[in-house]
Chain A
Amino acid sequence: MRRRLPAALLGAATALLLVAGPTLACGGLIGPNGAVNLLRTTTFAGYHDGVEHYVTAFQFQGGGGAFGSITPLPGVPSSVEKGGDWTLQRLIRETDPPRERVSFDFLGAAAAPSAEVIMQVRIDALDVTVLKGGGADVGQWAAQNGFRLPPDAPEVLDFYARRSPIFLAAVFDADAAKARGQDIGDGTSVHITIPTPNPWVPIRILSLGKTADARVDADVYLLTDHQPALLPTPTGSNGMNLDNSQQASQSLLDDLRSDRGMGWVPKDGWLTKIAIDAEAPQLSYDLAIDASGQGIPSWVQAGFEVPVQIQLVDQTTTIRALLAAILAIGLLILVLQLGRMAGPRATIQA
């Protein structure tokens, strides 16, 4: 499974950030000296014939040590493989004028218990593990593999596990990358193939470990058979801007199709680009997509609703509601009683 590192990749995606060993972690992208680096990330989600193709890149930023990240997935992937060499770059060129970009992510560690390991793949300097488990299971797995999660991780992991208990953990060994001659800015793209009724892109995970005043910048590209319906709708004020929405050009589709593992790209498609420019606390949602043409993206997939079977009940809220109901019933009875007492008098006066 060991392969040579590709040429430089633009953009990196990801998710839940972990840092290995005793390094102090606060989330975001964490360098070996503990510094947090906030970089723009780029991901691509294509959907065709009931299969989501999720392409993201993990980029080497320099320094040493191991870095880790976890990406929530909408389902169990049928394959995780090295991504193409130019898919992300070609998408950026299609919608943006050339500009300097840097980004990445990383990860780092081996497998362990609690969560069920359902797939392990080595891609260049990346060790990729697909996990199945609840938020606590995945958190334990991370801890047992030497990672330190930021304080918001327990809630964020549960947020995703309620809807899909599948996570992709990627571990990047920066020391090994340096030994391999990888230069800063070089990256490794990963292509994840996921059969699913509708595509779904994790957004909230981008804010993991970031402070309230931190910003998140990311680009999300979608390629679907029809113009997709999105939830939330990008309005700008919600931290999401619809930068591009049009029929994909034939030259773009041809270029994408010619990249490694991209033979699935259809002859026609709709290209959407969503730019995320938000304060971290704004990103309390994911991006639900209805690519069927019916225009009904899922509130559950967007993270606005908890799946019915596991809705949580707050005991304090329940007690308060019960007391309020008792109080209301008592008041109603008293009002009726008072009305009854006053009633005969009115009749007599009339």
Chain B
Amino acid sequence: MSGRRARLALGAGLVGLVLATGAAAITLAGRPDASPQTAITIEIKYSHFNPSEITVPVGVPVTITLVNDDPIDHEWIIGDDAVQQKHRTGTELLHPVRPTEQVIPALSTRVTTITFDHPAQWKYICHLPGHEAYGMVGVAAILR
């Protein structure tokens, strides 16, 4: 009796373990790494950023590689709402490249290094006409 109970308990425990492991693995496979990273590659394909969520640390240089697989130009502009609004209503089609404001020509790669000086939740957006509305928006969590 006790032996059977022990086997049933072991079996139930194994079921729970497998379920928990599987669920965790599936969840992790579908999400970007949530821990702050200092080297990130963002791919641009069909006018969308991938990943569209990144997590970066404060006070450390972060290298971001932007790979544009599209045959059209894109922008990657990271900043707070004021920065995004300025570009959203700006009249310049092209502007100087800064670490936080990159132009990635068609089928090319750009690398930028940024040191974020305070925690924040910023967005990165392509402000070429129609691109933001089409979904070229990402979120950057800047963590201490």
Residues of A at under 8 Å CB distance from B? Answer: 22, 24-27, 135-140, 142-143, 148-155, 157-158, 209, 211, 316, 319-320, 323-324, 326-327, 330-331, 334, 337-338, 341-342, 345
The distance in angstroms between the C-alpha atoms of A80 and B15, with both chains bound, is 67
List, in ascending order, chain B residues with CB within 8 A of A155's CB.
46-47
Closest chain A residue, CB of each to CB of B50: A316
List, in ascending order, chain B residues with CB within 8 A of A27's CB.
130
Closest chain A residue, CB of each to CB of B130: A26
The distance in angstroms between the C-alpha atoms of A152 and B106, with both chains bound, is 14
List, in ascending order, chain A residues with CB within 8 A of B82's CB.
none
The distance in angstroms between the C-alpha atoms of A319 and B19, with both chains bound, is 17
Asked if B71 contacts A154 (CB within 8 A), the reply is yes
A interface, over-half SS: helix
Interface size class of B (residues with CB under 8 A): 20 to 34
Closest chain B residue, CB of each to CB of A345: B4
Given contacts A25-B129, A26-B129, A319-B29, contact A157 B134 (CB under 8 A): no
Measured CB to CB, the closest approach of chain A to B19, in angstroms, equals 8
Asked if A323 contacts B107 (CB within 8 A), the reply is no
The distance in angstroms between the C-alpha atoms of A18 and B18, with both chains bound, is 54
User: What string of 1s and 0s marks CB contacts (under 8 Å) between B13-57 and chain A?
Assistant: 011001100100110011000000000000001110000000000
Asked if B4 contacts A341 (CB within 8 A), the reply is yes
Asked if B25 contacts A323 (CB within 8 A), the reply is yes
Asked if B11 contacts A157 (CB within 8 A), the reply is no
List, in ascending order, chain B residues with CB within 8 A of A135's CB.
71
22 A–B contacts from the bound complex (CB under 8 Å): A24-B93, A25-B129, A25-B130, A26-B130, A138-B71, A139-B71, A140-B71, A143-B73, A148-B72, A149-B72, A151-B47, A151-B128, A152-B47, A154-B45, A154-B70, A154-B71, A323-B22, A327-B19, A331-B18, A334-B11, A338-B11, A341-B8
The distance in angstroms between the C-alpha atoms of A57 and B119, with both chains bound, is 56
Given contacts A155-B47, A337-B11, contact A149 B71 (CB under 8 A): yes
The 6 closest A-B pairs by CB, nearest first: A139-B71, A327-B22, A151-B47, A151-B134, A155-B46, A154-B70
B47 CB contact (under 8 Å) in A140, A154, A327: A154
B72 CB contact (under 8 Å) in A151, A316, A338: A151
User: What string of 1s and 0s marks CB contacts (under 8 Å) between B57-89 and chain A?
Assistant: 000000000000111110000000000000000
The distance in angstroms between the C-alpha atoms of A341 and B131, with both chains bound, is 60
Report if B118 contacts A (CB, 8 A).
no
A154 CB contact (under 8 Å) in B19, B25, B72: B72
List, in ascending order, chain A residues with CB within 8 A of B46's CB.
152, 154-155, 158
Closest chain B residue, CB of each to CB of A141: B71
Closest chain B residue, CB of each to CB of A211: B133
The distance in angstroms between the C-alpha atoms of A152 and B4, with both chains bound, is 62
Asked if A334 contacts B29 (CB within 8 A), the reply is no
Asked if A320 contacts B29 (CB within 8 A), the reply is yes
Asked if A153 contacts B72 (CB within 8 A), the reply is yes
Given contacts A143-B72, A153-B72, A341-B7, contact A334 B47 (CB under 8 A): no
List, in ascending order, chain B residues with CB within 8 A of A142's CB.
71
Report if B136 contacts A (CB, 8 A).
yes
Measured CB to CB, the closest approach of chain B to A150, in angstroms, equals 6
B8 CB contact (under 8 Å) in A143, A148, A209, A338: A338
Measured CB to CB, the closest approach of chain A to B50, in angstroms, equals 10
Measured CB to CB, the closest approach of chain A to B138, in angstroms, equals 15
The distance in angstroms between the C-alpha atoms of A330 and B23, with both chains bound, is 13
List, in ascending order, chain A residues with CB within 8 A of B8's CB.
338, 341-342
The distance in angstroms between the C-alpha atoms of A327 and B128, with both chains bound, is 44
Closest chain A residue, CB of each to CB of B129: A24
List, in ascending order, chain B residues with CB within 8 A of A137's CB.
71
Asked if A143 contacts B71 (CB within 8 A), the reply is yes
Asked if A341 contacts B47 (CB within 8 A), the reply is no
Closest chain A residue, CB of each to CB of B70: A154
B134 CB contact (under 8 Å) in A22, A25, A152: A152
The distance in angstroms between the C-alpha atoms of A140 and B71, with both chains bound, is 5
List, in ascending order, chain B residues with CB within 8 A of A26's CB.
129-130
The distance in angstroms between the C-alpha atoms of A320 and B26, with both chains bound, is 6
The distance in angstroms between the C-alpha atoms of A171 and B22, with both chains bound, is 55
List, in ascending order, chain A residues with CB within 8 A of B93's CB.
22, 24
Closest chain A residue, CB of each to CB of B131: A151
Asked if B30 contacts A320 (CB within 8 A), the reply is yes
Which residues 126-143 in B have Cβ within 8 Å of A in the complex?
Answer: 126, 128-131, 133-134, 136
